[in-house]
Structure 1
C-alpha cells in the first residue's frame, strides 16, 4: 500500500521537481498548410503524438543540446537540434514534406486513416453554422444518408433500420447516455454534446471496428478541444444561448474549456396547434480539465451537470383534417398540467500513459447518475365535428355538426433513479510501421430504481371504453356493457435492477501492397458477459462474441478511388429499457439481439471546377436474429422483451460533398432502405423504422457582391414511417404509415468580422468573429405529423386518426461573438 501511495505522489508531484526541463511545442503542417495528425515527436526515449489540429507539446532536457525527431508514415522524417534554458517554452512549427503519390491530377497525401476506416468526418464549423430547430451535431447527422428522423424537436435518430437505442455516442472515448423516461422530443432537452467545445466529429453508419461498443447500428465519436490559448465565445438567440471559455496555464501543463448552455423551447413548442402555457427550459454546464504531468503522462476530467424542467399546461387544440368536400375538425379543451424534471450528473477521469511512440495505455473511469420524474394529470374533452365548407356562409370554417363527443384522462407518477459506473483500460501497440494492435477491457455496473404508474381512461359520448386488450366485444350503445370496468391503458410496476457487465476487445491493423496497389486490413473481436438481477430473480449469465473485419483496397489507377468491404457480428446485450416489457416488468433473461452486417462501399475523390469533391456509395445488408420487437409512441420505445423475432434490412446510401461554392462545404445525400421483421413466424411486416427513401441537402453560399452575407440551408425529405396506427394495435392488423416528412431550415448571416473579413471598427477589435443571423425554421411551413391521435365516432362506430403535427414556421435571431 505504501508503494502505491508513493507511486501516486511521484506521478503527480515528482515530475519536473528533480529534473530541469524545458518545453517545445507547435503545430505541424503539410505543404498545403493542413494540420497533420498522429505525427510522432521524439527526443531520446521520450515522445508524444500530434492531435487532430496538428498541435504537439513535449518536455525536453534543459541546458543541453537535444535532437527532436518528427516522423510519420506518410511524410519524410524531419529533425531539429536545440538547446533550451530551464522552464523555457520554445515554439517550433515545421512544415513536413509528404511522400506523395501522384495519381493523374489528384495528389493523395496523409490524413487518410478515417477515409480507410469508412468514417464520415464533420467540421465543427459546419455544425455551429447550419440552422435547425434543435441545432447541434444531431441536426447535421440527420442530413447524412442512412440516418432517419421525423421529429425536429428530438435529438434521436435511427440508422439503417435500427431504432433510437441502437446508436453509440462517445465523447473523448467515454460513452455517454440518454434519458430513460423520454416520451416525446420536447422532453429530451439538450444534446449531451456541447458544439462550442467540439474539435472533431466522426460518424459511422455501420460496419465499424471492434474497439467500439456493443450496439447494432452506428457510432458517433466526438473529441473535445484541448485548449492552446485563451478564447471565449458567445452564442445568443431567441431560443437561448451558450457561453464558452478556454485557456491554458503559463507552464502549458494545465488547460481547461468550460461551456454553459441555456435553452428555452417555448418559441418552438408554442407554434404547434395545441395552445399551452408551456416553458420547457434546459440548462447544462460542462467542463474539460487537462493536466500534462510529463511527456508520458496526461490526465483529464470531463464533467457535466444538466437539468431539464417542464411545466406543461395545455389549454385547447383544433386540428382540421379530412377532405376538401368533407372537412372534419377535432376540438379539444384541456384541464390539468404536467410537471417533468430530469437531473443528470456525469463525471469521467481519463489518463494516458505514452510509454514511447509505439506503446500507449489509457485508463478511463466514469459515473453517470440520472434522476427523472414524469408527473401529469391531464383531462381532454373533445368534440369531433363537420366543418362548414360553404365559402359564402357566415359560419364558414366553424364546426356546425358534432359527430361525437368524449373525454380522455391521462395520469402518471413515474420516477427513475439510475447510477452507472464504468472502469476501462485500453492499449495501443505498434509492432512495425505497417502493423498495430489495439485492445481494451471494461467493467460496467448499472443500478436502476424505477417506478411506473400510468393509466388512461377514455369516455366516448358517455360510454366508457374498455382496454382494447380485453377479449370482449364492444357494441355500445346498442347493447349493454358485458365486460369488467378497466382503464383503457394501465401500467404499474416497481423495479430494482442491477446489471454487471464485463466486455473487451482486441483488433489488429495492417497495411501492405499487392504489386502497385495498396490495401489496409482491420480484424478484431469483441466479447461481452452480463447478468441481470431484478431484485426477485437473478438471471442467467450470458456471453456474446462479435468478430468483425474491414478491408480497404486502393488500386493504382489514374482516378483516386478507394474500395471497402466491412462486416461481422454486432450483438447488442439488452440495456435497461430493453429488459422492461410493455407492462413495465423487467425480464432478466432477455437475450442479446444479434445482427450480421455486410457493407460494400466505394470512395471517389476528384476535382470539379478546380475544387475538391468526394462521392461515397455504400451498399449494405443486415440479418438480425433474437430481435426484441418494439412499438414507438413519439420517440418512446416499448419493448416486448421476448426475443421472438427475426428481421432484415438492406439498402443503398450515397453522398456527394465538396466545394459547390468556393471556400464552403456542402453535400447532397440519398438513401434507400427496406427493413422488415417476422414475429413468432407470423410473416414479415415493416419495422417501425422502415423509412424507405431519404434525401438530404446541406448547402452554404455567400453573395459575391456582398461577401459579408452568408446563406445556410438544411433540407430533409423522408418518406412516411409506419406508426399511423394506435400504439396498442396489433401491427399485423394495422400497417398504416404517416405522411412524408418534409422540412427546410434556412439561415442568413451578416458577418461583421471573421478569418477572411477584416473590420477596423473599434467595436469589433476584441473579436475574431462577430456575426448577426436570421433563421427561418420550417421555411415552407410543412405540416409534419409524428403520430396520430385516435378518436372514435360513437354513432358510426368509426375511428379517426387525427395527426399530431410538429412545429410550424418559426423565426429566430442569432448573435455569434468569438474572442
Structure 2
C-alpha cells in the first residue's frame, strides 16, 4: 500500500449527494420536478424534497425541469467523495440559468475566510479522541499537544477563546476539568454532522465575541430511516435517524460511551482507573408548513472519573547526568461532571428572500472534584551501564519528599439564552442581523490545598515571610499548605448582544468583488454579593474584502480586518486565589488577515493551495497559566500581547476518490505583563506541520488507509506553583505523533451486496484497527516540579502522554 499511490482506479465509482427542496414563487413545494445528471436522475416528492447521487471528483451538470416551469441548470458542480451538498431553489417564470456553482476539494467555495470540511472525514480519520477536534488539529494555525483532550489553541489563543456553535447555538464544555483524561467526549457528535465550517480568525460580525476562532456545526436532517453502530476497545456509539412518511417530522438520536482505560493504563503512572463517559443527543425537526419549522436540540452527558494512582517512575535528565523520579501514591480522585442542554428553535421563511429564527436554550452543569492523594517521591540517580542487567534502574537516592494534594470543589452553573436572527437577500446583496440575551448564574465552592514535605520538614509558602532561626529556637508557627485556594463565589451576569452586517457581490473590470461590513455590540452586567455591579459596553466593527480577478488561473484574494473583544466569562473573573475580581474588563484583539486561495488541476484532479498571513494586536490581556487543560487567570487585564504568523494548506485528491492535505504553519506570540518586557505566551507554538492522508490498495480498493501526522515545536513549560513566569521560560520537547487506521470495507454505497447475500442487509460494514502514536514518541504536555534538597534546585520532570496503543474497531450502517 503506497502512501503516494496515484494510479487511476475505481474513482469512477465514487459518489457524492445533492439534496434540497424545490419551491415556487409563492414558497410552496413543487412535486414531480425532474432532476437529472449524466449519471442518473430523480424527481421531487409531494413536499418538493429531492435526493440525488452524482459522480464525485468530476464536474457535473444538473438540470431541473417541470412542464409548468422553466428549466434551471447548474453547471460545474464539483463535489468530493461522500460529500453532501444542500441546494434549495425557487422555480419562476422566464428562463433561468444558475451556472458556475463550484464545490472544490475544500468544500463550498466561500469568500468569508471559512474552511468547509467534509463530515465523512471527521468520522474516518483515526485519533485517540476521535471527532471534529482531531481534524481541526491537522489544520494550519490550530495546535494541540494532548491527544486525550478535545481542546485546541488557534493562532496563539487559549481554549476559552474558541467559539463553538451547533445549529447556530453556542455550546459549552465543563468548567472544572483539569486533565485531558477526565474529558471524555467532545460536545459534537461526529456521526450527526451534516456541515462543518471553521475560521481561524478574521470572521464576520454574525459570529460571537471571542478572540480566536469559530467552529460552526450543523446537524443533519434525516431523509430516511437509518441505524449506524460502531464499537471498539475504547467504547461505542449508536446513531438512529428517521423521517415520517409525509417528510414533516425527522428525528436524529445519538448515544456514545467511552472508556479511556486503554490509554491511561499504558501511561507511566500505574493506577486503578475506572472512568465512565456517556452522553445522548437528539435533534428533532418538524415542519408546520413550508414556511414554518420547529426544531429541538437536546443533550445529556455524564462523566464519572475515578482514579486510584499507585506508582510512577520517570527517567529524565541528560546523558551525563541521568535522573529518575520515583513516586508511590496513596488515595484517590473521584470526579463527576453532569451536563444537560436543551434548545428550542423556530424558523420562519415569509418569502423566498427572507429567513428568520427564534431560539431559546438552557445549559446546566453540576460538577464535583473530590480528591485526596499522597505522593511519596524520590529523586534518584539511575544505572547507565550498558552491559548491566539493571540498566535504567534506580541506584542511589538524591532526595526524598512527600506531597499531599486535596480538593473539594463544586460548581453549579445555569446559562439561559434567547435570541433572534434574520437574513434577507436582494440580488447579490445580503443583510444579516441578530439580537441575543443571556443570563449566566454560577455557584462555585473552591477548597484546594497542597502540602509539601522534604525530608520531614514541611515547606511553607513563600509569603508572608516568618522568622525562623532553628535549631536555636524551636519553630512553633502554624502548619500551612504550600499552595491553597479557598473561595465561595456566587455571581450572575446579564448580557445583551447584537450584530448587523451587510454583504454584497459585484463585477469590477471583469473581476468578481465581494465585501462584507458589519459590527457587534455587547453590554454585560456582573452582580456579586458584597460588591457593586460591574458593567461594560463594547462596539466591535469588522469587515472582509475579496476579489477574484479575471485571470486564466482560479485565484482568490481576501483581506479581513476587525476588532474582536472577549468579555470575561466566569473563570476569567476568578483570580489565582479563587476570589472574583469584578473589575476585569474585556480583552481586545485587532485581527489583520490576508489570504490567497489558488485552485488548480493536477493529474486531472482538483487541488487548492490556501495561504494566509495574519497579525493580532492584543490589549487588556488577562494573563494565565495552563496546567494540562486547566486555565488559571491572573484576572487583572495587566498585559499586552501580539501574535503573527503564516499558514499554508495544500489539499486535493492526491489519490483518486480520496481527499488529503498537507498543512504548514509558523506562529510567534508574546506578552508583556506589567510592562516588564515581552516573553513567550503559554501557547507560543512556533512551527506546525500536519498531514492528513487517505489511500487504498489499487488491487484491493476496499482496503483503506487513513493516516494523520502532527509535528509541533514545544511550548513553554510553565512555572511551578504559579511562580514568576519571567524566571521559567524553558520549553517542553517537540510534539510528534502519527496515528494510523486501516479498514476493510465489506459493504458501502459503491459496493452493495447481492440480494441473496447476508451482507445485503447492510448499507455499510467495515472492520479494522487503529495504531495510535505508531512511532511511540514520548510527548509531554506539562512538567512536575521536584525539589532537590541537596542543591535547593527545582527540576522540571516531564509528564509524558500516551505511548503506542492498538485499538480494534467495527462499524455498520443499516
**Where does residue 285 of structure 1 map in the other structure?**
280
TM-score (norm 2): 0.89
**Where does residue 494 of structure 2 map in the other structure?**
500
2:205 matches 1:228: no
Structure-2 separation of matches of 1:403 and 1:481: 26
**Where does residue 610 of structure 1 map in the other structure?**
604
Structure-2 separation of matches of 1:342 and 1:397: 40
Alpha-carbon distance, 1:796 to partner: 2.1
Alpha-carbon distance, 1:705 to partner: 1.6
**Where does residue 69 of structure 1 map in the other structure?**
none
3-state SS, counterpart of residue 159 of structure 2: coil
- Superimposed CA distance per residue, residues 25-80 of structure 1 (whole angstroms, 9 cap, x where no aligned partner): xxxxxxx9866688873243547999xxx9987758xxxxxxxxxxxxx9999552
3-state SS, counterpart of residue 221 of structure 2: coil
* 1:728–1:468 distance in 2 versus 1, CA, 3 Å: farther
3-state SS, counterpart of residue 727 of structure 2: coil
Contact 1:159–1:218 under 8 Å retained in 2: yes
Moved more, 586-595 or 403-412: 586-595
3-state SS, counterpart of residue 558 of structure 1: coil
Contact 1:650–1:675 under 8 Å retained in 2: yes
Structure-1 separation of matches of 2:298 and 2:387: 64
Q: Which of 586, 590, 598 is matched with 1:596 structurally?
A: 590
Structure-2 separation of matches of 1:818 and 1:736: 49
2:722 matches 1:728: yes
2:91 matches 1:109: no
Structure-2 separation of matches of 1:598 and 1:754: 45
**Where does residue 675 of structure 1 map in the other structure?**
669
Count residues with an aligned counterpart: 757
* 1:37–1:468 distance in 2 versus 1, CA, 3 Å: farther
Moved more, 708-717 or 368-377: 708-717
Structure-2 separation of matches of 1:342 and 1:423: 25
Alpha-carbon distance, 1:791 to partner: 1.0
* 1:332–1:476 distance in 2 versus 1, CA, 3 Å: farther
Contact 1:724–1:801 under 8 Å retained in 2: no
2:720 matches 1:719: no
Structure-2 separation of matches of 1:385 and 1:507: 63
Contact 1:47–1:296 under 8 Å retained in 2: no
Contact 1:148–1:694 under 8 Å retained in 2: yes
Q: Which of 10, 24, 30 is matched with 1:42 structurally?
A: 24
Structure-2 separation of matches of 1:425 and 1:683: 45
Contact 2:76–2:100 under 8 Å retained in 1: no
Alpha-carbon distance, 1:478 to partner: 12
3-state SS, counterpart of residue 152 of structure 1: coil
Structure-1 separation of matches of 2:469 and 2:734: 35
Alpha-carbon distance, 1:475 to partner: 10
Contact 1:261–1:285 under 8 Å retained in 2: yes
Contact 1:184–1:635 under 8 Å retained in 2: yes
Structure-2 separation of matches of 1:36 and 1:753: 22
Q: Which of 114, 118, 127 is matched with 1:119 structurally?
A: 114
Alpha-carbon distance, 1:116 to partner: 1.1
Moved more, 214-223 or 36-45: 36-45
3-state SS, counterpart of residue 570 of structure 1: strand
Moved more, 581-590 or 391-400: 391-400
Alpha-carbon distance, 1:571 to partner: 0.5
2:269 matches 1:274: yes
* 1:396–1:741 distance in 2 versus 1, CA, 3 Å: closer
2:521 matches 1:544: no
Contact 1:725–1:736 under 8 Å retained in 2: no
3-state SS, counterpart of residue 783 of structure 1: coil
Structure-1 separation of matches of 2:47 and 2:309: 62
- Superimposed CA distance per residue, residues 497-536 of structure 1 (whole angstroms, 9 cap, x where no aligned partner): 1000000000001000112111011110000000111222
Q: Which of 339, 342, 350 is matched with 1:347 structurally?
A: 342
3-state SS, counterpart of residue 126 of structure 1: helix
**Where does residue 635 of structure 1 map in the other structure?**
629
Contact 2:517–2:544 under 8 Å retained in 1: yes
Q: Which of 96, 101, 107 is matched with 2:73 structurally?
A: 96
2:186 matches 1:191: yes
Moved more, 284-293 or 107-116: 107-116
**Where does residue 301 of structure 1 map in the other structure?**
296
Moved more, 41-50 or 248-257: 41-50
Q: How does 1:473-512 map to 2 (within 5 A)?
A: 485-512=479-506
Contact 2:21–2:29 under 8 Å retained in 1: no
Alpha-carbon distance, 1:757 to partner: 2.7
**Where does residue 9 of structure 2 map in the other structure?**
none
Contact 1:468–1:728 under 8 Å retained in 2: no
2:62 matches 1:80: no
Structure-1 separation of matches of 2:514 and 2:121: 30
* 1:711–1:75 distance in 2 versus 1, CA, 3 Å: closer
Structure-2 separation of matches of 1:535 and 1:708: 64
Structure-1 separation of matches of 2:28 and 2:331: 67
2:226 matches 1:249: no
Alpha-carbon distance, 1:298 to partner: 0.5
Contact 1:325–1:389 under 8 Å retained in 2: no
Structure-1 separation of matches of 2:510 and 2:474: 84
**Where does residue 817 of structure 1 map in the other structure?**
812
Alpha-carbon distance, 1:567 to partner: 1.5
3-state SS, counterpart of residue 192 of structure 1: coil
Q: How does 1:202-601 map to 2 (within 5 A)?
A: 202-393=197-388, 395-430=390-425, 432-471=426-465, 485-601=479-595
Contact 2:626–2:718 under 8 Å retained in 1: no
Structure-1 separation of matches of 2:129 and 2:62: 45
2:167 matches 1:180: no
**Where does residue 143 of structure 1 map in the other structure?**
138
3-state SS, counterpart of residue 807 of structure 1: coil
Q: Which of 122, 125, 128 is matched with 1:130 structurally?
A: 125
Alpha-carbon distance, 1:110 to partner: 4.0
Alpha-carbon distance, 1:797 to partner: 1.5
Moved more, 535-544 or 690-699: 535-544
**Where does residue 797 of structure 1 map in the other structure?**
792
TM-score (norm 1): 0.89
Structure 1 unaligned segments of length 5 or more: list them.
1-31, 61-73, 84-91, 102-106
Contact 1:532–1:589 under 8 Å retained in 2: no
Structure-2 separation of matches of 1:507 and 1:285: 36
- Superimposed CA distance per residue, residues 344-366 of structure 1 (whole angstroms, 9 cap, x where no aligned partner): 01000111000011111100110
3-state SS, counterpart of residue 736 of structure 1: coil
3-state SS, counterpart of residue 175 of structure 2: coil
Structure-1 separation of matches of 2:758 and 2:460: 68
Alpha-carbon distance, 1:729 to partner: 1.7
**Where does residue 745 of structure 2 map in the other structure?**
751
Alpha-carbon distance, 1:113 to partner: 6.2
Structure-2 separation of matches of 1:394 and 1:665: 50
* 1:177–1:282 distance in 2 versus 1, CA, 3 Å: same
3-state SS, counterpart of residue 280 of structure 1: strand
**Where does residue 159 of structure 1 map in the other structure?**
154
Q: Which of 680, 693, 704 is matched with 2:698 structurally?
A: 704
Structure-2 separation of matches of 1:290 and 1:121: 24
The alignment yields a C-alpha RMSD, in angstroms, of 2.6
Alpha-carbon distance, 1:708 to partner: 1.7
Structure-2 separation of matches of 1:626 and 1:613: 41
Alpha-carbon distance, 1:131 to partner: 0.4
Structure-2 separation of matches of 1:472 and 1:763: 80
- Superimposed CA distance per residue, residues 288-327 of structure 1 (whole angstroms, 9 cap, x where no aligned partner): 0000110000110000010000110000001111223332
Contact 1:279–1:310 under 8 Å retained in 2: yes
Structure-2 separation of matches of 1:715 and 1:527: 41
Alpha-carbon distance, 1:201 to partner: 0.5
Contact 1:709–1:751 under 8 Å retained in 2: yes
Moved more, 150-159 or 389-398: 389-398
Structure 2 unaligned segments of length 5 or more: list them.
1-13, 34-41, 49-59, 79-98
